[in-house]
Structure 1
Amino acid sequence: MSSKYHNPLDRFICSADKALRVISGVASASRPTPAVHVDDAHLTDEERKHSAGLIRVDHVGEVMAQALYNSQARFAKSEALREQFEKASREEEDHLAWTAQRLKELNSQTSVLAPLFYAGAYALGTVAAKMGDPHSLGFVVETERQVEKHLESHMQRLPAGDAKSRAIVDQMRIDEIAHGKAAQDAGAAETPLPVKLAMTAMSKLMTGTTYYI
């Protein structure tokens, strides 16, 4: 989605187009995967299945990130903030492509529930954006805080020999920290408790289901 679209109808069409591309798995990375020079060590069937489950969760998390930035960019009050969200969205698309590629390498697939979580995240992002730009930025800060914690747990839970997945997850964690800091520096407001609770509930539901399907 480009900030050159000022007309609400154009923004809607562009937003819908991006949603279809994300849900259908059409994602292109602007950076090579961090695991490009990492050898794929032998994993047992159980380890491979476990890695795939964790990476599938991470992939859906990136689907949700696209929904959040898509909705927040669409309803941002200022052009500068809209451009910031669009830039973050493009960087997050790398994560989407990296995790999808890793799932293929692990002989697994993305979650069939991705469209449902995209819709839920889009709704939350819209609510945050409608509350005004400072609250929308605060939503990003809280989102990235939760995602950082989530990725750190995956670093601990991934099989010790799965260096390729570890390289991807670690770079994702670094990027998420940077996005959260950028939102904080731009004037983020504190996220209301009900919104935090809704975010946490959706996160728990997502991680508890997409690991398996």
Structure 2
Amino acid sequence: MRSFSKLDNFLGRTNELLNTISSERDSDINYPASNISEGELNEKERKLSSSLMRINHSGEIAAQGLYIGHAFVSRNEDQKNLMLGIAEEEKDHLFWCKKRIKELGGKTSMFDPAWYCGSVLIGIMSGAYNDKVGLGFVEETEKQVSRHLDGHLEKIPANDHKTREILLQMKVDENKHGELASSKGSVEIPNLVKKLMGKVSKIMINISYRF
């Protein structure tokens, strides 16, 4: 019965995420760019910003998979709640990215389901090995995402103030969650694993940028 309950909860969370992804809710209440005027962007600049935000949206989908996968196998109730709490807090990022992509006339990645499934598996494997290791994966993920956002902040057009404000707030949240994982006793993962995560991330970035 315990296993069934965990599986039922996992499927419920996944279904909830799918509804979140497909939802047209705008999340105006927390939208960082709600009070910022749209800058003058030409077609090339709009396409660039849209592509970069599509990457960020895919990254947030993957992060949700990591958190939910870890929570599914966690043997520690506090750890499980921590992961689900972070996932819940970062749902706004999905809405922000999707809203901005729509404003720019773009579309989200057709490969988002693949990023989610792959990240769930990584979350399950890291969480099953050790809760502290799982926290290490979360901390490293947040660090890599933060560096990735820094790169996008340098690439986005100078007049795209709305996208810039969204990315800055996302960076604040990612850093906070990375620090939270560290404070809970995360174990630093091996450099080889960090490099592998980076390579997998580059594959996702290259594909999501185009599709």
Equivalent residue, structure 2, for 1:44 = 42
1:83-105 deviations in whole A, cap 9, x for unaligned?
A: 11111101110000000000010
Where 1:7 maps in the other structure, the secondary structure is helix
> Alpha-carbon deviation of 1:188?
0.2
> Is 2:9 aligned against 1:15?
no
**In 1, are the aligned partners of 2:28 and 2:34 still within 8 Å (CA)?**
no
How far apart in 1 are the matches of 2:174 and 2:20?
19
Q: Give every structure 1 segment of 4 or more consecutive aligned residues whose post-TM-superposition deviation is greater than 3 Å.
A: 22-31
> Which runs of structure 2 are paired with 1:54-93 in the superposition (5 Å)?
54-93=52-91
Q: CA RMSD in A?
A: 2.0
> Alpha-carbon deviation of 1:125?
1.1
How far apart in 2 are the matches of 1:77 and 1:65?
20
> Alpha-carbon deviation of 1:18?
3.2
Which of 100-109 and 17-26 deviates more?
17-26
Q: Give the structure-2-normalised TM-score.
A: 0.92
1:115-169 deviations in whole A, cap 9, x for unaligned?
A: 1111111111111101111001001110001000000000000000000000000
Q: Give the structure-1-normalised TM-score.
A: 0.91
> Alpha-carbon deviation of 1:27?
6.8
How far apart in 1 are the matches of 2:26 and 2:34?
15
1:40-75 deviations in whole A, cap 9, x for unaligned?
A: 011000000000010000000011011111111111
CA distance 1:135–1:28, change in 2 (3 Å): farther
Where 1:42 maps in the other structure, the secondary structure is coil
Where 2:210 maps in the other structure, the secondary structure is coil
**In 2, are the aligned partners of 1:23 and 1:115 still within 8 Å (CA)?**
no
**In 2, are the aligned partners of 1:72 and 1:82 still within 8 Å (CA)?**
yes
Query: Which residue identity is paired with 2:159?
Result: G
Residue identity (%): 36
> Alpha-carbon deviation of 1:193?
3.5
Structure 2: state its 5+ residue gaps: none
How far apart in 2 are the matches of 1:26 and 1:87?
23
**In 1, are the aligned partners of 2:62 and 2:116 still within 8 Å (CA)?**
yes
Structure 1: state its 5+ residue gaps: none
How far apart in 2 are the matches of 1:56 and 1:177?
21
Where 1:191 maps in the other structure, the secondary structure is coil
Where 1:211 maps in the other structure, the secondary structure is helix
> Is 2:184 aligned against 1:186?
yes
**In 1, are the aligned partners of 2:10 and 2:68 still within 8 Å (CA)?**
no
> Which runs of structure 2 are paired with 1:1-213 in the superposition (5 Å)?
7-22=5-20, 24=22, 29=27, 31-213=29-211
Query: Which residue identity is paired with 1:210?
Result: S
> Alpha-carbon deviation of 1:36?
0.7
> Alpha-carbon deviation of 1:195?
2.9
